[in-house]
Amino acid sequence: MPHAEGRNDIFSALFKYFEKAPETVIYDFACQLAPYCMSREPLFFKDTCFAVDEMHAKGHVGCSQASFMSNYMQVRPEVININTSAAECSNSGLSRIKKSISYMDQKHAILYTYVYLCVWNRRQERKHQSRLEKELLRIPQDM
Ligand SMILES: [Zn+2]
């Protein structure tokens, strides 16, 4: 995308590509996205929780506390381990191939990005696997 995404881009992606709306949407402007989505497709988004990620919440001084992920993390155990900055990490990763992609046609750019993300995801999996194995080694064997 040549410019920063807007509410309609997020709304369209969710509405077009999800059969059922996600339970939780964590987004830097979720406080504005929620009313936008609810006014356009209230039935589709009726059970979705929209929350501003921890990193961007600091900038939302006039917004309701109800839109901050940090508050949901205190009362909903299923969201405690969510990395609310995953999108920022992903943006940072993709910025590394931005220049290369700018010289490619669409077909090659999509393929290159796909392979880059596969390698990146595999590295993350191996890192988590390695961390898990180290933790398992620390657990006494007689348990
Ligand atoms: Zn806000």
C-alpha 73 to ligand 1 mean position (Å): 17
Burial (CB count within 10 angstroms: exposed 0-12, middle 13-18, buried 19+), residue 140:
exposed
pLDDT at position 99 over 90: yes
Q: Kindly give the distance from the C-alpha atom of residue 119 to the centroid of ligand 1, in angstroms, as a whole number.
A: 34
CB-based neighbours (< 5 A) of ligand 1, an ion: 31, 60, 63
The first and second tokens of residue 141, run together, are: 């064997």
The Å distance, Cα 111 to ligand 1 centre, comes to 36
pLDDT digits (tens, 9 = 90+) for 24-74: 999 989 999 999 999 999 999 999 999 998 888 888 888 888 889 988 888
Residue ranges covered by each domain of the chain = 1-82, 96-143
Q: Model-level pTM?
A: 0.70
Distance 58 CA to ligand 1 centre (A): 9
Q: Distance from the CA of 31 to the center of ligand 1, in angstroms?
A: 5
Using the mean position of ligand 1's atoms as its centre, give its distance from the Cα of residue 24 in Å.
Answer: 16
Distance from the alpha carbon of residue 117 to the mean position of ligand 1, in angstroms: 30
CA pair distance 93, 42, nearest whole angstrom: 34
Instruction: Give the mean pLDDT of 96-120.
Output: 95
Q: How far apart are CA 51 and CA 29, in angstroms?
A: 8
